Structure 1
Amino acid sequence: MSALETFEVVVVGGGPTGATAASDLAKKGRKVLLLDRMGRIKPCGGAIPPRLIKDFEIPDELLVAKANCARMIAPSDKAVDMHIEGGFVGMVDRDKFDEFLRVRAANDGAERRTGVFEKLTRDSDGVSVVHYVVRGKHGAPDETVAVRAKAVIGADGAKSGVGRQAIPGAKDVEYVFAYHEIVKVPENPPEGFDGSRCDVFYQGALSPDFYGWIFPHGTTMSIGTGTADKGFSLRSAVETLKKQTGLENAEMLRHEGAPLPMKPLKKWDNGRDVVLAGDAAGVVAPASGEGIYYGMYGGRVAAEAVEELLVTGKGKSLAKARKKFMKEHGTVFLVLGIMQRFWYTNDKRRERFVKMCEDKDVQRLTFESYMNKKLVRRDPLAHLKIFLKDTAHLLGFAKV
């Protein structure tokens, strides 16, 4: 018998994805280890839709702002305001939000530990062994720890160490690199600033293939951008955005950067005892960059698949995580991917894209789909109108 401590599930990564998976499994009575790196905050605008707030029981006090409008800004600086009628988008600070989810997982019965994932091996009986490093404090040497796991959930973000070791094809992922700064809202904000509005900048000077943003967070705001172009300076683009909006002297509290995957992996599991979720599985929405809801939903379906594995002993159960996720959200990812590849190509197309956002049907269906995380199908006439208008813009017939 191995002398190593054994868990039924080890969840590597303590962001919203991993914390959700750990919480769900712990509530089922499973012995769960939630392993997280200390001090890392993902660059993120922090927007969460009502569907997430409801499905994952997020308390109102975690919402630092409630946005009821999105302003789309074209290369010409033309702005289109898309108002959210009868609802709002919640804004959260990721450091507090993520910690709340980790604490909740621990309260549900998961064991929290801090450490850096190192590698996966197998014990003599074939059970996975998770190796991780605990950084020494006050000059003490680092300690390498190993635990056995009947199942492993890799929720360790883009470029997942778990995925790269256990899942074929996990290294072949397309990324957008994101960078943002959290700054204080000035005592005298610039003219036009609105703490209940998300500003999205579709301008090549700020991103050649994505967008720049200013998202409200109560007394602070997130100012950022992203691109897949490794030669593009994200920090310089953020400085440009700050000067452009009169925020160049705003006090910066912190800054973060990280890669964001833009396409779900073709395979999320090894058919035996390892499954990926969240950024590790590539589920950040193209075009919008939204990842919190999809990460938490991915953590939930991964937990469901692992629970079935533990009950049945059948490794093929793990494939159900991807199958269920893609059945629910695959069409949205496909549509958003096509949209990003076409509309974000150059400023002429960005200008037309923002112009198209003036249409009330576009606004209504966009927000209904975003808020509820489902494509709206009940209004075929509106979809037909949007299709015809979209075609006109694609062919250049519509006036800008």
Structure 2
Amino acid sequence: MSNSDDADVIVVGAGPAGSAVAHYCAVAGLTVLVLEKASFPRDKICGDGLTPRAVAELARMGVDTSEDDGWIRNEGLRVVAGARSWELAWPEIDAYPSYGMARARTSLDHRLVQHAQASGAKLRERTAVTGPVVDERTDRVVGVTARDVDERGRKVGDEITFRAPIVVAADGVSSRFALGLGLEKRVDRPVGVAVRTYFETPRHDDPWMESHLELWDGAPGRSNQLPGYGWIFSLGDGTANVGLGSVSSTPARQSAANIDYKDLFGKWMANAPGDWEFTPENQRGPVRGAALPMGFNRKPLYTRGVFLVGDSGGMVSPFNGEGIAYALQAGRVAADAIAQARTRGTDAARERVLERYPRQMSDELGGYYTLGRIFVRLIEQPRIMQACTRYGLPRPVVMRFVLKLLSDCYDPHGGDWVDRVITGLTKVVPSS
């Protein structure tokens, strides 16, 4: 069965990446159809923290990020290692604002898709995309097939066909749409695993995002160190997002580790600082986990009329597990290529413009992700990680360098010597 809801662009998935590309394409005058298998508001496993880089992308989109609309700002990162902590303010640079933000994904994703709708995109919820529609003559994707989803998440009814000359796969880490085209994940890229839950806490408006580089099942330094890192992100609504994760240089190493993350989380919480009040009585919701696809772990990012954006293209930073900023960036870059291609007079010329997207993403992020892969291989060695936290972090110059590198908050077009060193490193390493 065909459907009248055909468009210039079909977006599969309404997370940050999908909403960003839908917004920008709609603003450019394209008809956009967003297909989302769930209904809003819906949850997503995430730390809920937004770095200054992500805040800058929200500003480009024109999203209202005022405190009156439920956003909370943070001043920087509080790094906890062993029994010590350091508060590192977000850097003052021209490229990004000097503050981060936090917002639960149940409301963040809803706000972003509403913003795309206000720009002119059409959203169809409870619609599960089942595969691509391929033109046999050109071998290009010219649409998608889909089925409705009932309130229990089951596919119902007949299959529907939606047609468009451009399809954007923004359907997350599993990206069944990409798999339907034979685009498999790369086994030579880092992968992370994270678990998180929410707690009611009197420190719900803490002005610092907190990162625990060492996790202990008792007193720091006098008990067993647990694998992984932890975070506490205050949400300003009476709760905090609390989670832990780990990263491995390859999926094989991740599987070999065979870590029970929920068990680790329980041990960490049993010894969390008492003033946070992370007690079973204050826990809100179960501990849930998800994979973090890192370092462009699925390529090509564009092929045969299909764009991969966000998690579907493995756009999570190997340094810190950040994915929202890069999802928004990818949506912006992809939309620009799509809008510019419309102005070209031949199929060949349009294709050359569309192929600019993966090159631009590689130019902007490839070198940084390569440094991230090197970083992951280093911190897989416990002795190196312990030496860095014990001897490196107490030095102010090292702390400033680490903050800018790990948070991707450096100015690639100027700034101080730290910015120039990081920029230089991203340009001398391979970007593939």
Q: After superposing the two structures, state which structure 1 stretch, 320-329 or 276-285, moved more.
A: 320-329
CA contact (8 A) 1:214 1:224 kept: yes
Give the match's secondary structure for 1:142: strand
Partner of 1:166: 181
> For 1:294 and 1:94, how far apart are their aligned partners in 2?
16
1:72 maps to 2:108: no
Q: Per-residue deviation at 1:5?
A: 4.3
In structure 2, do the counterparts of structure 1 residues 242 and 306 end up closer, same or farther at CA, with 3 Å as the change threshold? same
CA contact (8 A) 1:16 1:296 kept: yes
> For 2:49 and 2:155, how far apart are their aligned partners in 1?
39
1:130 maps to 2:161: no
1:347-366 residue pairs with structure 2 within 5 A?
348-355=383-390, 356-366=392-402
Q: Per-residue deviation at 1:270?
A: 5.1
**1:71 is aligned with what amino acid?**
R
1:377-396 residue pairs with structure 2 within 5 A?
378-380=415-417
Q: After superposing the two structures, state which structure 1 stretch, 323-332 or 109-118, moved more.
A: 323-332
CA contact (8 A) 1:12 1:154 kept: yes
> For 1:309 and 1:85, how far apart are their aligned partners in 2?
37
> For 2:109 and 2:170, how far apart are their aligned partners in 1?
13
Q: Per-residue deviation at 1:139?
A: 11
Partner of 2:89: 83
1:166-315 residue pairs with structure 2 within 5 A?
166=181, 168-170=183-185, 172=187, 174-185=190-201, 187=202, 195-203=206-214, 210-218=228-236, 219-227=238-246, 228=248, 229-230=254-255, 231-245=258-272, 246=274, 247-255=278-286, 256-265=288-297, 267-269=299-301, 271-312=303-344, 313=347, 314-315=350-351
CA contact (8 A) 2:76 2:209 kept: yes
CA contact (8 A) 1:26 1:108 kept: yes
Partner of 1:38: 38
> For 1:34 and 1:333, how far apart are their aligned partners in 2?
29
In structure 2, do the counterparts of structure 1 residues 122 and 141 end up closer, same or farther at CA, with 3 Å as the change threshold? closer
Give the match's secondary structure for 2:336: helix
Q: After superposing the two structures, state which structure 1 stretch, 249-258 or 287-296, moved more.
A: 249-258
Partner of 2:426: none
**2:32 is aligned with what amino acid?**
V
In structure 2, do the counterparts of structure 1 residues 360 and 42 end up closer, same or farther at CA, with 3 Å as the change threshold? same
Q: Per-residue deviation at 1:56?
A: 3.1
CA contact (8 A) 1:329 1:374 kept: no
**1:184 is aligned with what amino acid?**
E
**2:128 is aligned with what amino acid?**
V
Give the match's secondary structure for 1:43: coil
Q: Which runs of 5+ in 1 are unaligned?
A: 385-400
**1:195 is aligned with what amino acid?**
D
Q: Per-residue deviation at 1:294?
A: 0.7
> For 2:309 and 2:12, how far apart are their aligned partners in 1?
10
> For 1:292 and 1:250, how far apart are their aligned partners in 2?
31
Partner of 1:387: none
Cα RMSD between the aligned structures? 3.1
Question: How many residues are matched?
Answer: 377
**1:253 is aligned with what amino acid?**
R
> For 1:321 and 1:382, how far apart are their aligned partners in 2?
25
> For 1:38 and 1:338, how far apart are their aligned partners in 2?
37
